[in-house]
Amino acid sequence: MSYFSDIYNGVKTLLTGMSVTGKYFLHSRKGAITQQYPDNRDTLKMFDRFRGEVVMPHDENNEHRCTGCQKCELACPNGTIEIIWDRQVDPETGKKKKMIDQHIYHLGMCTMCGLCIEACPTDAIKWAQNFENSVYDRAYLTRVLNKPGSKLMPGVED
């Protein structure tokens, strides 16, 4: 007779569900995922995979890894990245070589798709985890990613 086994299974599954939510209830004090944002502004760290904005990391010698290959510029679906480059004489080898002057990133046009970061062959750009990106003037959203006076890290092109 399936009538009584239906009741038994019904009660059993309901209790299973309640035990799951009950566990959540008991752990809610420690495990709450809500951030009380303006209060913990100083300590709040976003998780690693959060896409805040594209940045170009520089090391302590003010060197970056961007060779100016423009693959990111080509990969970008909406023209967020502009690279201004020219050919200069490399002081070490004495040959003419492509070097970036400015790596311009328009945050206002970026959809955070991440195609530029995937396209970069030298891992020169990556995601930052900052999230307070609002500004009062649109002009502030245009950023130059390489710092003034920076140069290519030796050994990246090899």
String of contacts with another protein for each residue 71-110, x by CB under 8 A: ----------------------------------------
Helix (H) or strand (E) holding 41: none
The nearest distance, CB 14 to another protein, in angstroms, is 7
Report the site for another protein in 99-158 (rule: CB under 8 A).
Answer: none
Encode 73-85: b = buried (16+ Cβ within 10 Å), e = exposed.
bebbeeebbebeb
Dump the DSSP string for 80-134: -EEEEEEEEE-TTT--EEEEEEEEEEEGGG-----HHHHH-TT---EEE------
Query: What does DSSP assign to residue 62?
Result: S
Among 9, 12, 17, 133, binds another protein (CB under 8 A): 17
| Tokens, residue 106 | 């328009």
Phi then psi for 156, rounded to 5 degrees?
-70, -35
How many residues bind another protein (CB under 8 A)? The answer is: 17
Phi then psi for 74, rounded to 5 degrees?
-70, -35
Nearer to another protein among residue 7 and residue 84 (C-beta): 7
String of contacts with another protein for each residue 18-57, x by CB under 8 A: x-xxx-xx-xxx-xxxx-x---------------------
Nearer to another protein among residue 24 and residue 47 (C-beta): 24
Nearer to another protein among residue 23 and residue 147 (C-beta): 23
Q: Would you tell me which residues interact with another protein (CB under 8 A)?
A: 7, 14, 17-18, 20-22, 24-25, 27-29, 31-34, 36
